[in-house]
Amino acid sequence: MGFPTTRMRRLRRTETLRRMVRETRLTVDNLVMPLFVRPGTNEQRPITSMPGQYQWSVDRLVEEVKTLEGLGVPAVLLFGIPDAKDEFGSAAYRPDAIVCRAVEAIKSNCPDICVITDVCLCEYTSHGHCGVVRENRDGVADVENDATLELLAKEACCHAAAGADMVAPSDMMDGRVGAIRQALDGNGHEEAAIMAYSAKFASAFYGPFREAAESAPQFGDRRSYQMDPPNQREALREMALDLEEGADILMVKPALPYLDILQAASERFDVPLAAYHVSGEFAMVKAAAAQGWLDERRTALEILTAIRRAGARLIMTYWAKDAAGWLA
């Protein structure tokens, strides 16, 4: 029945009523905090394009993780900045790699927090691309897919050996989930889970991250391996392939411009979904809030709730620490 018998505003009248009938609930359990770890001691180096975010030395990183754990944040996602880079990103897959040292330190001090590690080579290669670069048949430098798989698998095994609960390949090479699963299982790491960056688009929203991870490509771009933004069906196919290869969690990245992908995936796949609310999305709100144009807290929680509503069980967000306090 229509107005005046039906009045939709009746259940919006008070905060208690709104809370009682709320359809989507965002909790601290949905949040994962990305963190950047670098060599050194007592380092907390600001990331200028991402206010409030830092590159941490391992000792200071542990302090930050203790704070996050105290706020109820269940997981962190680690990115490493090495002391040296080379053509093959060899600092990524050494047993003493910066991420491995960070995992060991976190697990020694906060054994219950879930430690997820980014598995990629872009932070570690001198050219800034996500794999082994060779000339293709046209004489153009490009990432060699199959040669990269072995290195990614080695990196994932190093992280798992250090104690990582979950590895998160973000490179977008074909077949990398299967290669990593096979390597993990073959080296006694059957319990290590894989959260695949399955639908990772070649987005303009990654700019601040490249400062944070010191991973800007030295030539060209990443459009030959990251996804073309207009494609939805291809994204779902990528996700299906990663699931077949052994992924435990499927991720969409970035989040806000691709909520349609996330929603479609939630209807198709019966596995946990993740979404990465990326650096550019975060920095936009920070910049607007600094000008007084937006209320940062209300805007951030609205964004995170929208991502949750679209189907994400896990949300990688630089607001994880603040949001944990706001939600409490």
Q: Among residues 154, 253, 286, 321, which one is catalytic?
A: 253
| Annotation marks residue 85 as catalytic | no
Q: Decide: 133 and 97 in contact? Cβ < 8 Å.
A: no
Residues 6 or more apart whose Cβ sits within 8 Å of residue 207: 49, 279, 280, 283
Q: Among residues 85, 200, 286, 321, which one is catalytic?
A: 200
Query: Per residue, what are the HEC states of the chain?
Result: CCCCCCCHHHHHCCHHHHHHCCCCCCCHHHEEEEEEECCCCCCEEECCCCCCCEEECHHHHHHHHHHHHHCCCCEEEEEECCCCCECCCHHHCCCCCHHHHHHHHHHHHCCCCEEEEEECCCCCECCCCCCEEEECCCCCEEEEHHHHHHHHHHHHHHHHHHCCCEEEECCCCCCHHHHHHHHHHHCCCCCCEEEEEEEEECCHHHHHHHHHCCCCCCCCCCCCCCECCCCCHHHHHHHHHHHHHCCCEEEEECCHHHHHHHHHHHHHCCCCEEEECCHHHHHHHHHHHHCCCCCHHHHHHHHHHHHHHHCCCEEECCCHHHHHHHHC
Residue 285: other Cβ atoms inside 10 A: 19
Q: Decide: 81 and 36 in contact? Cβ < 8 Å.
A: yes
Which residues are known to be catalytic? 200, 253
